[in-house]
Structure 1
Amino acid sequence: MKVAVLDIQGKETGRTVELSDGVFGIEPSNHAIYLDVKQYLAHQRQGTHKSKERAEIVGSTRKIKKQKGTGTARAGSIKSPVFRGGGRIFGPTPRDYNQKLNKSQKRLARKSALSQKGKDNAIVVVEDFSFETPKTKAYADVLKSLGLADKKSLVVLGGLNKNVYLSSRNYRGSEVVTNSELSTYKIVNANTIVLTEAAVEGIESNLNK
């Protein structure tokens, strides 16, 4: 699949880039995408939720009232879950939410997500660019020139570019990642994917293994 390469003013440079059919042109596997997105979201959970059970409550162990003759239910401990300040029954406990997914399955999921974006004409390729200093306005101007000012976008760079990354941090609705940080969730979550020429090479190199 051939795609025209644009400059940061949104104009065609006269060059084209060939997107590999093995990465950007496969039949998407919705199930692979689902599994990878589910794993990504599960890994965002800390799993540190905790409430104290009856045995963990600090309190007196004496019997709080006599067994019979009170006209109310029997009660043996102030730490009972039926009293305010007592332990919680079947409360949340720390757990690990990590899920296992094979590398080949994750690779298929990313290829599927990229191929779906290709089918939807939601991939833009731009020449490699940088900024002299971090400036949100400069980054906003690039997105505006590409017609993405009001769309949720994901800009993928070929490598770490500190000035471009810092320029994007205050821009709502757009995120900058390198090709090695690209995940299925980030691809699916964006309306349009902006790839630099170096990023195309890096993605194809990573996913054609």
Structure 2
Amino acid sequence: MDVTVKTLDGKDAGTLTLADEIFGLDPREDILQRMVRYQLAKRQQGTHQSLGRAEIARTGAKLYKQKGTGRARHGSARAPQFRGGGKAHGPQARSHAHDLPKKVRALALRHALSAKAKAGGLIVVDELVAAEAKTKAVAKTFETLGLSNALLIGGVQLDEGFSRSARNIANIDVLPVQGINVYDILRRQTLVLSKAAVEALEERFK
């Protein structure tokens, strides 16, 4: 699969052949769905928690005598039916993460890349380096390329000036190649890869 390599100024910088086993697969929605669900569950905090009856700081004395009042038998003010008592079956702090095989995760990334390529939402640039490390200049560059909602993936080391300049632009994410993930690829309209990122991905899936 051949693509035209662009510069950040929108000019042509030659062509590049993309590996079909990474960018030419027929995307499977079920694998992508499993991966997105895995990612969102893994990053969920799970710190919500309510107090049970054993954790409530309240008197341990019996509310009133067992017999002779005509009322129901109660032995603790910490019981859930009383105001200020513990919550029955309330949320507890826990991890929401679940397992997904490593091979399925790797396959999902390849399917996400293939989905972008098939939909025409993939752009390859020669390098992600800002000539002028200013947000206004970088935003103008993105307008030239027609990028309004995009994920940009650079090499192992990002150009600090470029990443800082792009950080404040809405709907634009910049990540090093080791941070590439299915959820971020799918939630952005366009995927922009540098040549270094393409080489790293092909080396990773070799």
TM-score relative to the length of structure 1: 0.91
Query: Unaligned regions of 5+ residues in structure 1, if any?
Result: none
Alpha-carbon distance between aligned partners in 1 of 2:133 and 2:42, rounded to the nearest angstrom: 31
Instruction: Report SS of the residue matched to 1:34.
Output: helix
Residues 170-194 of structure 1: CA deviation (Å, up to 9, x unaligned): 1110100111111111111111001
Alpha-carbon distance between aligned partners in 1 of 2:173 and 2:75, rounded to the nearest angstrom: 58
Alpha-carbon distance between aligned partners in 2 of 1:194 and 1:115, rounded to the nearest angstrom: 13
Are 2:181 and 1:183 equivalent residues in the alignment? yes
Q: How does 1:10-25 map to 2 (within 5 A)?
A: 10-13=10-13, 15-25=14-24
Amino acid paired to 2:194: T
Instruction: Report SS of the residue matched to 1:54.
Output: coil
**Is the 8 Å Cα contact of residues 25 and 110 (structure 2) preserved in structure 1?**
yes
Comparing 131-140 and 73-82, the one that deviates more: 131-140
The CA deviation at 1:153 is 0.6
Structure 1 residue runs of 4 or more that deviate by more than 4 Å after TM superposition = 68-72
Q: How does 1:11-90 map to 2 (within 5 A)?
A: 11-13=11-13, 15-68=14-67, 70=69, 72-90=71-89
Pair 176,74 (structure 1): closer, same or farther in 2 beyond 3 Å: same
Match of 1:141 in 2: 140
Alpha-carbon distance between aligned partners in 2 of 1:37 and 1:123, rounded to the nearest angstrom: 20
Alpha-carbon distance between aligned partners in 2 of 1:132 and 1:9, rounded to the nearest angstrom: 10
Comparing 178-187 and 67-76, the one that deviates more: 67-76
The CA deviation at 1:68 is 4.8
Comparing 191-200 and 70-79, the one that deviates more: 70-79
Match of 1:168 in 2: 166
Are 2:200 and 1:202 equivalent residues in the alignment? yes
The CA deviation at 1:71 is 5.5
The CA deviation at 1:20 is 0.8
Alpha-carbon distance between aligned partners in 1 of 2:68 and 2:188, rounded to the nearest angstrom: 68
Pair 136,70 (structure 1): closer, same or farther in 2 beyond 3 Å: farther
Are 2:131 and 1:123 equivalent residues in the alignment? no
**Is the 8 Å Cα contact of residues 27 and 112 (structure 2) preserved in structure 1?**
yes
Match of 1:97 in 2: 96
Alpha-carbon distance between aligned partners in 2 of 1:81 and 1:146, rounded to the nearest angstrom: 61
Instruction: Report SS of the residue matched to 1:56.
Output: coil
Alpha-carbon distance between aligned partners in 1 of 2:10 and 2:133, rounded to the nearest angstrom: 20
Instruction: Report SS of the residue matched to 1:5.
Output: strand
The CA deviation at 1:67 is 3.8
Alpha-carbon distance between aligned partners in 2 of 1:82 and 1:168, rounded to the nearest angstrom: 54
Pair 83,134 (structure 1): closer, same or farther in 2 beyond 3 Å: farther
The CA deviation at 1:121 is 0.6
**Is the 8 Å Cα contact of residues 29 and 108 (structure 1) preserved in structure 2?**
no
Query: Unaligned regions of 5+ residues in structure 2, if any?
Result: none
Pair 70,86 (structure 1): closer, same or farther in 2 beyond 3 Å: same
Alpha carbon RMSD of aligned pairs, Å? 1.7
Number of aligned residue pairs: give it: 205
Are 2:116 and 1:109 equivalent residues in the alignment? no
Alpha-carbon distance between aligned partners in 2 of 1:207 and 1:165, rounded to the nearest angstrom: 26
Alpha-carbon distance between aligned partners in 2 of 1:83 and 1:72, rounded to the nearest angstrom: 14
